[in-house]
Structure 1
Amino acid sequence: MSLKVNILLFEKFSNMLLACLLEPLRVVRDQTGANISWSILTPKDTSVRSSSGLRLSPDIPRADAERCDLLMVVGGDDFRQDAADPVSRKCVTLTKRAKTVIGADTGAWILASWGLLEGRKATLHWQTLAEFSEVFPNVEVLPDRFVRDDQIWTCGGASTAMDLMIALISELYGDALAHDAASMFLHDGSRFEGQGAGSMQPKGSHNLRRCTAIMAKNIEVPLSTETISKQANLSVRSMSRIFVRELGMPPQRYYQLMRLTRARDLAAHTDLTLNEVALRSGYSSAQSLSKAFSRQFGVSIGSTRKHKQIW
């Protein structure tokens, strides 16, 4: 599935929030080869500085922005002035060319100033919730981490933006990829096991996360379903039910997808031979890896070597 994204950045936006919006999509693109692309836009077609002083320039003039599947409106610290700026108000035309709109951080304030949240439910950064309710009385303000009202999504700070994107990825690409996208940003084993993981924990139950953590630690020498279930203190039947219910596939299929994703990464970003890639992803030979890879992704693993990218 292709996904065209336009990102409208306002002055003094949050670097962390922007990363939490984009990195989950980058993970999906890298792991599946999905055609996901994005363009940075700014209200005045000039560069903008983040709240920490980093400067970003627009990829294209706002007037040249094509229709998109997703428009992200990322507000900044000067959102009150931006909402009243006549030039910024012209950006409302971008929302008419987008299937889905996200108002992130103070972006919800910008959307409300354009009249897009009248009679809708929304949320934004917790520090401005009370003021927002007073300024926009016709918007039903909720304290939730993120809110969806038809085609408009809103969220507060960085961690809530991550939550929103994981939910969106689940809807667009399925629960398994949403789980992978969330898990990619957790490296501490105890957090992955669900101890204090907070809002940014991977999608799924504690039992599911425990099983996938065991799989992730055993890529080169794959474990049997029976061994995984035993280490997770579950019966094989219970584990299978959890995977089918929460990820839409049996555990061994998800395990294979995890290994093939690892193989894709090694093939694209290292100089290992295909035999070495196969061994490091749990396959006995390049031939067996190639067959499994082609069945899963519809392309040969060799083709990934022709388009190396550095992130």
Structure 2
Amino acid sequence: MHPIHVSVFLCNAFSNMVLACLLEPLRVVRDQTGADIRWNILTDGDRTVISSSGLSVSPEMPMVDAPEPDLVIIIGGDAFRDTKGMTAARSLGQLMRGATVIAADTGAWVLARGGFLNARNATLHWQLLEEFAEKFPEVEVLPDRHVQDGRFWTCGSAAAAFDLMLQFIRDQFGASVAFDAGAMFLHDNARRHGASYPDQALSQALSPKLKRVIVLMSEALETTQSVLALAEQAHISERSLRRLFWAELQTTPGRYYLLLRLARARELLRYSDLSLDQIALRCGFASSTTLTRSLRKNFVSDPLQDRRENL
């Protein structure tokens, strides 16, 4: 996987919630998989902007100095009707050239004002759909949660932004990585029997049987079970279980189980004082050597680096 550079463009009165819903899933993918994902913060007019809740954010650099991005995230704000947005639209044209573009909240308004959405499908915050359609008749406005038209993705609320980002991650990294990124934020605190992924909190896109198997896996990270044993507990055949994982997560049960154990190991490496041998045993590995070898095989970055840096 090649590096992904992200430029996050914030407009005045942007929503902190929308920003978090778009950026935090990428952060999880970076931390969990070792993917080379980097981002910089840019702002309208290269000046400090104030979020809708009053937080000040300054740009890391002028837009003209920003490195060429693979992904541009535009988060509009409550001041979207301000004609000064024309400046933003013009400066965005160069930044967006060739990049995938995600416009959230009122970000579609900024794009439409610059003519970037002409003859394209788009959406934005549900309260503004009618006004947007009247203002920009050359844009095909859809009431969907998020819309993709070529390299342009648009969405409205924070919840829709979160769904959109998970879809982007799914396209770039696969369904299992997207599932893990979503589960990091969607599970509740009522962990039954120590489960990392309570079945009531898993994505509704997954079948009940698959949710059940993943809960079983998360409850047995230390004493691992065979795929056959998991299938029997879920009351399906092993062959059906394998088909289920491939159909819904595009991976095998064994591979997904391994990634759950490695994710737990990485968490313990970062945030606990347990020795490597102790972590290995808690995550179902015979020794620290086996664990280290598996971590280095499955992650681009050295998963032991964080621990060494904190010593």
State the TM-score, normalized to the length of structure 2. 0.90
CA contact (8 A) 1:202 1:209 kept: no
CA distance in 1: counterparts of 2:9 and 2:246, whole angstroms? 38
CA distance in 2: counterparts of 1:86 and 1:223, whole angstroms? 59
Unaligned runs of 5+ in 2: none
One-letter amino acid of the structure 2 residue matched with residue 73 of structure 1: I
Instruction: Report matched runs for 1:259-274 at 5 Å.
Output: 259-274=261-276
Provide the residue aligned with 2:135 in structure 1.
135
Unaligned runs of 5+ in 1: none
Provide the residue aligned with 2:278 in structure 1.
276
CA distance in 2: counterparts of 1:88 and 1:301, whole angstroms? 40
CA distance in 1: counterparts of 2:85 and 2:18, whole angstroms? 23
Q: 1:300 to 1:56 in 2, by over 3 A?
A: closer
Provide the residue aligned with 1:211 in structure 2.
213
Higher relative contact order (CA 8 A, sep 6+): 2
SS of the residue 2:81 aligns to: helix
Q: Deviations over 1:238-275 (max 9, x none)?
A: 11111122222220111011111211222233332110
Residue 302 of structure 1 and its aligned partner are, at CA, apart by 3.6
Instruction: Report matched runs for 1:196-235 at 5 Å.
Output: 201=203, 204-235=206-237
Q: 1:110 to 1:7 in 2, by over 3 A?
A: same
Q: 1:184 to 1:308 in 2, by over 3 A?
A: farther
Q: 1:305 to 1:203 in 2, by over 3 A?
A: farther
Residue 300 of structure 1 and its aligned partner are, at CA, apart by 5.7
CA RMSD of aligned residues (A): 2.2
SS of the residue 2:99 aligns to: strand
Q: 1:94 to 1:20 in 2, by over 3 A?
A: farther
State the TM-score, normalized to the length of structure 1. 0.90
CA distance in 1: counterparts of 2:204 and 2:182, whole angstroms? 5
The answer to whether the aligner puts 1:7 opposite 2:8 as a matched pair is: yes
Provide the residue aligned with 1:64 in structure 2.
65
Identity over aligned pairs, percent? 47
CA contact (8 A) 2:34 2:301 kept: no
The answer to whether the aligner puts 1:47 opposite 2:45 as a matched pair is: no
Q: 1:281 to 1:94 in 2, by over 3 A?
A: farther
Which portions of structure 1, spanning 4 or more consecutive aligned residues, are displaced by more than 4 angstroms?
192-195, 298-301
The answer to whether the aligner puts 1:80 opposite 2:93 as a matched pair is: no
Q: Deviations over 1:37-69 (max 9, x none)?
A: 111100122221111112211111122111100
CA distance in 2: counterparts of 1:302 and 1:220, whole angstroms? 20
Residue 283 of structure 1 and its aligned partner are, at CA, apart by 1.4
